């Protein structure tokens, strides 16, 4: 099924940093339209009633929030929306629970930007999309841990840029706020990704969350 652009996206995740990272990814792609973000099941039900969206990106890691039961209920009540699960969950048993309720799109949070982008597009068209690690789990292969290697030191200015990026600010906004040129911010962003050995805003958000950067 062909899907016209832009693809309208709702983001549901309990983690602020992850929501902002996904928001940035969506905003930076002209094929996508950011609709809203929510942090709990109550907010998600309200958003789905009030907003018109094509794709719901949701994590199911929290049993008392975005549980399998909650996702299944949403799938039943809102059959018009396609659901993409992006989670830390690497348990074959839990992954199979999600697939068994009819979810056809599942990624892990350490997937790169291209995989996430491709998954959103496939999801909008009603096509199946599982990342390579999920396929490995389903095929009962050993799943290796994601490595987060820091290959260079991060300057104070780069830390400030990171803080702004993970809260959803775009390079043009950051340049204005920091009194710097757009080119300078883009260069900082490229250097940050290179130093941290990361590829996208999701990994940057995970780094900031893991290191407590946002609390400094």
Domain count of the chain?
Answer: 2
Lowest mean pLDDT among 61-75, 86-100, 145-159, 195-209: 145-159
Same domain, 182 and 94: no
Residue 111 lies in a domain: yes
Residue 149 lies in a domain: no
When pLDDT is averaged across residues 116-135 and rounded to a whole number, the result is 87
pLDDT band at 62 (very low <50, low <70, confident <90, very high): low
Same domain, 11 and 91: yes
Question: Does 215 have pLDDT greater than 70?
Answer: no
Residue 148 lies in a domain: no
Residue 1 lies in a domain: no
Please report how the helices 171-178 and 182-196 are oriented relative to each other, as an axis angle in degrees rounded to 10. Answer: 110
Q: Which domain holds residue 160?
A: 156-215
Same domain, 121 and 26: yes
Question: Does 152 have pLDDT greater than 60?
Answer: no
Domain boundary (138, 167, 193) is at 138
When pLDDT is averaged across residues 127-149 and rounded to a whole number, the result is 62
Same domain, 120 and 169: no
Residue 150 lies in a domain: no
- pTM of this prediction? 0.71
Q: What is the CATH number of the domain that holds 186?
A: 1.10.10.10
Residue 146 lies in a domain: no
Question: Does 128 have pLDDT greater than 60?
Answer: yes
Same domain, 116 and 30: yes
Domain boundary (138, 168, 187) is at 138
CB crowding 85-112: b at 16 or more within 10 Å, else e: bbbebbeeeebebbbeeebbbbbbbbbe
- What is the per-residue pLDDT for 207? 80
Residue 189 lies in a domain: yes
Same domain, 124 and 175: no
Same domain, 69 and 134: yes
Same domain, 114 and 14: yes
- What is the per-residue pLDDT for 191? 87
In whole angstroms, give the CA distance from residue 161 to residue 167.
Answer: 10
- What is the per-residue pLDDT for 2? 55
Residue 11 lies in a domain: yes
- What is the per-residue pLDDT for 47? 96
Contact between 202 and 87 under an 8 Å Cβ cutoff? The reply is no
Contact between 133 and 143 under an 8 Å Cβ cutoff? The reply is yes
Cβ contacts of 94 within 8 Å, gap of 6 or more: 60, 68
């Amino acid at each position: 099924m062909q899907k016209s652009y832009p693809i309208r996206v709702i983001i549901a995740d309990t983690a602020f940093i992850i929501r902002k990272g996904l928001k940035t990814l969506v905003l930076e792609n002209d094929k996508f339209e950011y609709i809203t973000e929510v942090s709990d099941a109550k907010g998600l039900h309200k958003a789905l009633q009030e907003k018109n969206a094509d794709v719901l990106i949701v994590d199911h890691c929290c049993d008392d929030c975005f549980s399998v039961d909650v996702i299944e209920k949403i799938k039943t009540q809102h059959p018009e929306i396609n659901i993409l699960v992006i989670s830390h969950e690497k348990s074959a048993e839990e992954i199979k629970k999600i697939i068994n309720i009819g979810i056809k799109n599942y990624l892990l949070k350490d997937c790169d930007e291209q995989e996430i982008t491709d998954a959103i597009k496939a999801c909008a068209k009603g096509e199946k999309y599982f990342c390579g690690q999920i396929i490995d789990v389903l095929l009962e292969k050993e799943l290796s841990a994601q490595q987060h290697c820091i290959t260079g030191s991060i300057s104070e200015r780069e830390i400030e840029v990171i803080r702004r990026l993970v809260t959803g600010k775009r390079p043009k906004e950051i340049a204005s706020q920091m009194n710097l040129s757009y080119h300078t911010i883009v260069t900082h962003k490229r250097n940050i990704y290179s130093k941290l050995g990361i590829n996208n805003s999701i990994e940057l958000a995970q780094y900031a969350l893991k290191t407590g950067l946002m609390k400094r």
